[in-house]
Amino acid sequence: MFGSKKQQIIRFEQNICHASVNDNSILFVRVGDVVTTKDAMFEVPFTHMAFVIKGGGDFRVYQSGTYPVFESKEEMKAWKNGVSVEIIYVPKETSVLIRWGTPDKVTYRDKISNKVIEVGARGQFGISITNANQFFRKVVGATKEFDLERFRDRFSAAVVNDFADVFLTVVAKEELTYDQFDANRKTIAVQVGKMLSEKFERDWGIGLVDFIIEKFNISAEDMEKIENVADEIQQRNKMKEYLAELERLDDKQWEREMYLKRLEQEDKAAYYEVLKVVGSKGGATAAGAFCPNCGHSYENGAAFCPGCGKKLAAATVTCPKCGKTYPGDTAFCSACGTKLN
């Protein structure tokens, strides 16, 4: 009809940042317009969904398709007064890759050594928009134009801020020690990513996709600190085994002597430590006993240790007939009556 106005259609291409519909690294674009015809329409491309705000009021979410601006007669009556329409387009699939790293290391207490060390980590993840309404409130808001680098910095910092607690929870659940972190990076990353994703879906409307831990960082000093303790623990465990075996051979003097000789050949440091413990408990051999200070053997009746010179306050004597051991001042063997002194 002559003089009739052409139907108004609001489209994605009118966005203020001139973004392409195929660029899904841009998480939102705005299109603002004033409606000039009562049969005005707006389009939502198949790659996006849209938040539509009419007259500055509440927004509604639309999926792909073409829709009338006015959905009721009441709304249509208002168009002559110049109704403003704002549409925020959000991609259904995103291609935003975010790299992350812990600026401050996580304080971790190793469960075996009980030593506190600091653990750093870095990696990357993608995102998906899982809750449109929450995403609009947390990310879009009144922001006119999406800034990818600013978003990356902000979101990465939020994720890293929660990483420490989640990481420690997963490590405790899996019962991992620090030297198992690298071998279990994938397992840790899957669980940490899942827990972080659940949190950020609630808080931001954004889920984390393909959460990856590329590397853990522990200082050489911290690793040495734990290894030293681990060595001490291993040595203590060996000592327990050695002493338990000596206890088992308590009444088998010859086998006991052979066991000690074999230990001396295989692990001399442990051998002397065992002798010290045996000496402190009054242990004895057929030849005599062991000094409780240095572990050196001494003959029955000796007053001073030939190894360190310490006075032997609890010298022992062994019955030459039956092999029983007694304090050094014992006169006769209670088992066979043999004179000892």
The pLDDT tens digits for 174-191 are: 888 888 899 999 999 999
Q: Is residue 334 part of a domain?
A: no
**Of 161, 190, 218, which one is at a domain's C-terminal end?**
218
pLDDT band at 239 (very low <50, low <70, confident <90, very high): confident
**Of 72, 91, 110, which one is at a domain's C-terminal end?**
91
| Lowest mean per-residue pLDDT among 117-131, 208-222, 259-273 | 259-273
The reply to whether 258 and 210 lie within a common domain is no
- Go through the chain and tell me how many residues it has: 341
Cβ(50)–Cβ(133) under 8 Å? no
Strand ranges (DSSP E) for the chain? Answer: 9-10, 29-34, 41-44, 48-54, 59-62, 65-68, 84-91, 97-101, 106-109, 116-129, 206-218, 288-290, 297-299, 316-318, 325-327
- What average pLDDT does range 70-91 have in this prediction? 80
pLDDT in tens, 24-77: 999 999 998 888 788 889 999 999 999 999 877 778 899 999 999 888 777 777
Number of Cβ within 10 Å of residue 90's Cβ equals 24
Query: What pLDDT sits at residue 99?
Result: 96
Query: What pLDDT sits at residue 285?
Result: 47
Q: Is residue 3 part of a domain?
A: no
Q: Tokens 């040595």 map to which residue?
A: 235
Residue partners of 201: CB distance under 8 A and separation at least 6: 130, 131, 134, 207
Dist. CA 338–CA 141, nearest whole Å: 101
Q: What average pLDDT does the structure give for the chain?
A: 82
The percent of the chain in helix, strand and coil, each rounded to the nearest 5, is 40, 25, 35
Query: What pLDDT sits at residue 58?
Result: 75
Cβ(121)–Cβ(102) under 8 Å? yes
**Of 46, 76, 91, which one is at a domain's C-terminal end?**
91
Selection from 220, 216, 231 nearest residue 171 by Cα: 216
The reply to whether 234 and 144 lie within a common domain is no
Burial class (CB in 10 A: 0-12, 13-18, 19+), 134: middle
The reply to whether 237 and 163 lie within a common domain is no
> Highest-confidence range of 50-59, 98-107, 305-314, by mean pLDDT?
98-107
Q: Does residue 2 register a pLDDT over 50?
A: no
Cβ(129)–Cβ(27) under 8 Å? yes
Query: What pLDDT sits at residue 277?
Result: 67
Cβ(124)–Cβ(159) under 8 Å? no
pLDDT band at 163 (very low <50, low <70, confident <90, very high): very high
Burial class (CB in 10 A: 0-12, 13-18, 19+), 268: exposed
Q: What is the total count of domains within the chain?
A: 3
| Lowest mean per-residue pLDDT among 17-26, 40-49, 234-243, 317-326 | 234-243
Q: Is residue 2 part of a domain?
A: no
Dist. CA 180–CA 172, nearest whole Å: 12
- What average pLDDT does range 117-136 have in this prediction? 94
Q: Is residue 340 part of a domain?
A: no
For every residue of 126-177, DSSP letters joined together read EEEE--HHHHIIIIITT-SS--HHHHHHHHHHHHHHHHHHHHHHHHHHHT--
288 lies in which domain range?
A: 224-327
Selection from 49, 35, 58 nearest residue 88 by Cα: 49
Dist. CA 252–CA 70, nearest whole Å: 102
Residue 73 three-state SS: helix
Q: Is residue 150 part of a domain?
A: yes
The reply to whether 69 and 168 lie within a common domain is no
Cβ(17)–Cβ(145) under 8 Å? yes
- What average pLDDT does range 157-164 have in this prediction? 95
Q: Is residue 337 part of a domain?
A: no
